[in-house]
Structure 1
Amino acid sequence: MAEMEKSVTQLVEEVEEWKKPSHATQYFAAFSASMSAMAVGAAIGYSSPASAALRYTNSSDENSDAFYLTKGELGWFSGSLSIGALTGCMLAGLCINNIGRKGTMLVSVVPLLIGWILIGLAQNLAMLICGRILCGVCTGISSLVVPTYTTECASKDIRGALGTGFQLFITVGILYAYLFGSVMESWRWLTAVCAVLGLVFLMLAVFLKESPHYLLSKGKEAQARQSMQYFRGKSYDIELEMAELKQSLEESLQVKVKMSDLTKPYILKPLIITMLLMVFQQMAGVNAVIYNIVIIFQDSGNTLSDDMCTIVVGVVQVLATASSTILIDRAGRKVLLSLSACFMSISIFCLGVFFYEKNKDETWAEDTLGWLPLTSLIVFITAFSIGYGPIPWIMMGELFYPNVKEAVGSMATTLNWTFVFIITFTFEPLQDAIYTYGAYWFFGSICAVNFIFCLLCVPETKGKTLQETTAHFGHPPS
């Protein structure tokens, strides 16, 4: 009898296992696609050590083979990546529905590698900017296609975890650039090290399966089934999921959003909130910090080495981004956004205080407050990574109906990268106009306004259905 009960129990367990999708192929696909994010992160992080090496100072030897950039030229060098990203976002929208998700990812590697070659061989500012723009094109394409592909290939039970991979791998790529930037004297050789990530991504992407969502949308049902079966495992029954996918595609084709629909309260109100979240995300000055963090530590006169401080901040960013995957669903969106804005405001204000005191008495500030720049930036990056880094993108997907998300997503992404360019390009001129401490106090003031906005205007979407969320805005559709 005991043996029979044991056999029955074992049989039940095996049946239950058959009902669960396989995760191995999904993890491989998510990892391979997210290598694009790591390559993008390296392009973002590259700006900091490269800018420090290219920065013109009184000690720079103008007669050497190397060339140097003024403050204004450094702004173009850093900000030009976002110009390419804007172009990449528009190209991605066309490519993902015409050549597929996999095809778009493969194509995105071409401008990335050409961009790195131009930067590595650059003899003037024009070559540097062209290279950065091309790397930015890959950045813009990846920011749309990778999350799309990962979400469409993932099963419901791990979709949330895999969906955070893009942001996490970007921070890993930034840290990668910081680490190698600290041990390599030449910014030219650093381009080769960063370009390697693009080659690794290319080799992995070749073996990826196309998204079942894309294949089905093109009428290739047999191939869509093969793709779905590959991602879910040989023994998993895909019929229910395929039926749901078909229904979803049919509904999206039947209901097309018009520009006039954007004025409806249940769309307009969350649209305004989403756009403001994107603006506040960049107006906090996070990319100005990330693109120039080595220079910030150089100017602070920190007792620790500039490279060590940069690496510490990079490690903190990776750990904080990883922990946000747990905190977002436990603490809630509104709570984390509010705390994020509050601590970003306090920390960036403190950084401004240091530079204000340094402007009055450099020796006293460095001896007495030398710990403040590193501490402030650790708090700033941590607060951003657990709140304002991932949550605006998550809420964009939670506040709108499926037929609206594509239009809103395109608008929000374009606005976001526009402000990335504005902030990174104007960072140096802003410091010249209102001093370094004034620039940080400006960012801190924006974060303070942002904190009030989060408390008063941002709804909590944690644990709410789409109908409950739209009802919050007063006009759910019938």
Structure 2
Amino acid sequence: MEKNTNFQWKNPRNQYYAVIAANLILLSQGCLMGWISPAIPKLTSESTPLTSGLLTTQQVSWIGSISCIGVLVGSLSFGYFTSFMGCKRAMLFLTVPSIGAWLLIYFGQTFDHILLSRALSGWSTGGITTTIILFVSEIANNDIRGRLGGISHFMRNIGILIGYTLGATLEYHIIPCICIFMPIIYAISFAALPNTPRYYLQRGQTKKAEDALKYYKGYRGESVEENIALYDELERLNRIVNERKSDEKLQASDIFNRAVMKGLGIGISLAILAQLTANFPLVTYAVTILKKSGTSFNPYASSIVLAVMLILGSSVNTYLADIFGRKRLNFISLTGSAVGQLATSLYHYLYISGYDLSLFSWVPVVSLSFVIFILAAGILPLQLICVVEYLPPKVWHI
């Protein structure tokens, strides 16, 4: 057969379904992230549901930070799991820590139970962040890969909104009873999908690889061009697998060269800048921050507004990146975040200094909403995309 390099696959429905199903676990993780914000005032009050008593400031800080350690462990461990389990099995395993986190919240009686729940949540988040990139890269058409990759941020942000909303409206022990079904639905939906074509080729299962490729490409067998394109793609994937088998180990020379070091430098710099924007503390402690900011608005309702802005920001990210370009949008995002947080800090300083700010009580909500929006529209999703673009596949696709 002659190669058909101009053929365009036009039926990506199964790719959308697969990526949405894969990201349902992030809906649960977003709920776990969002739930803690309205739960902290409850856990630090005299009416705390924990038999060990109300939480101290130090314990609350651990609850916020332990998930970051979990994310680090999850990213490293699931990178290893994926290498021998494949994307699908590694991703299905994420159901275990996610369900465990909700069970600990429901049955937990002490601070240690909540801490372990948060650690499991972070581990699961780090795992899905690592594996979903590989899964999307292996099944998606080139023209929609960026769009499919953006679904992860959107689903997580939807989960945060659900967590804020449930935490503001329902009793403490009712929330895990509802949210525990999310990872279960994820497991059922995702288990029905075939593994990636590359996974089957790595194990010499050519027929299964062909069937998986037909499924994800939306193959209909209606034309000669489509048949040629299918087998060209199968050949390309087989060639990649054979090349990786012949040179599986990453050599020092693969990393210590100018192009890779530049990419790593950019990636690490963007990651540091993204963390310095305090986006994680803002999401984790939104209700507490708004309570102490001096605003007259209901902190629980205001936190829901922040979550809505998070979703809006992630929704327009691709559109803004096309208009401004990645570099300029990162700069706008960081600058806008600094301006918004400066406005919040100035308001709080004047508030604790005794000034009458009753006419400006909207400032903390508006400025923090702007910060959340501009970060979600810019550097938060772009930092990972930029790393993937700057580094060769052999370095990041291990």
Please report the TM-score for the alignment, with normalisation by the length of structure 1: 0.76
| Counterpart Cα distance in 2 of 1:51 and 1:194 | 18
Shift of 1:391: 0.8
Change (3 A) 1:335 1:63: closer
* Alignment of structure 1 residues 231-250 onto 2, 5 Å: 231-232=216-217, 233-235=219-221, 236-237=226-227, 238-250=230-242
Matches of residues 8-157 of structure 1 in structure 2 within 5 Å? Answer: 20-56=9-45, 60=46, 67-157=53-143
Residue of structure 2 equivalent to 1:163: 149
Q: Which residue of 2 aligns with 1:13?
A: none
> Aligned partners of 1:63, 1:289: CA distance in 2, in Å?
24
Structure 2 counterpart of 1:390, one-letter code: P
SS at match of 2:109: coil
Asked whether 1:384 is paired with 2:375, we answer: yes
Query: What 5-or-longer segments of structure 2 have no aligned partner?
Result: 1-6
Work out whether residues 52 and 110 of structure 2, in 8 Å CA contact, stay in contact via their aligned partners in 1.
Answer: no
The whole-number CA distance in structure 1 between the counterparts of 2:52 and 2:303 is 24
- 1:403 equivalenced with 2:394 (yes/no): yes
Kept after mapping to 2: 8 A contact 1:88/1:136: yes
Range with bigger deviation, 28-37 or 323-332? 323-332
8 Å CA contact 1:67–1:123 kept in 2: the answer is no
Task: Name the % identity.
Answer: 24
CA contact (8 A) 2:88 2:195 kept: yes
Query: Of 285, 299, 313, which residue of structure 2 is paired with 1:306?
Result: 299
Q: 1:121 to 1:307 in 2, by over 3 A?
A: same
- Separation in 2 of the partners of 1:282 and 1:382? 15
CA distance in 1, matches of 2:295, 2:185: 36
Distance apart, 1:224 and its partner CA: 0.7
After superposition, the C-alpha distances for 1:74-106 in whole angstroms (9 at most, x for unaligned) are 011122222222222122112212222111111
Report the TM-score when normalising by structure 2. 0.91
Partners of 2:35 and 2:166 within 8 A in 1: no
Per-residue Cα deviation, 1:14-53 (whole angstroms, up to 9, x for no partner): xxxx963422211111110011121111121122111122
Superposed displacement of residue 282, structure 1: 0.7
Q: Is the 8 A contact 1:213 1:245 kept in 2?
A: yes
Please, what is the CA RMSD of the aligned residues? 2.0
Aligned residues of 1:44 and 1:291 also touching (Cα < 8 A): yes
Q: Give the distance between the partners of 1:335 and 1:207, measured in 2 at CA.
A: 41
1:219 is paired with a residue whose SS is: coil
CA contact (8 A) 1:49 1:294 kept: yes
Q: Within 2, Cα distance between the matches of 1:195 and 1:78?
A: 21
Which runs of 5 or more structure 1 residues have no equivalent in the other structure? Answer: 1-17, 408-478
- Which letter does structure 2 place at the counterpart of 1:37? L
Q: 1:251 corresponds to which residue? A: 243
Question: Deviation of residue 249 (structure 1)?
Answer: 2.7
1:212 and 2:203 are equivalent in the alignment: no
Other-structure match for 1:370? 361
Q: Closer, same or farther in 2 for the Cα pair 1:195/1:61, shift >3 Å? A: closer
Q: Which has the larger radius of gyration?
A: 1
Alpha-carbon separation, structure 2, partners of 1:305 and 1:137: 32
Instruction: Note the alpha carbon deviations across 1:136-173, whole angstroms, 9 max, x for none.
Output: 22111111112221221112232221111111111111
**Cα distance in structure 1, aligned partners of 2:9 and 2:394:** 30
Aligned-partner Cα distance in 2 for 1:377–1:140: 26
The one-letter amino acid of 2:286's match is I
- After superposition, the Cα gap between the structure-2 partners of 1:19 and 1:65, relative to the gap in structure 1 and judged at 3 Å, is closer
Match of 1:293 in 2: 286
Partners of 1:21 and 1:155 within 8 A in 2:
no
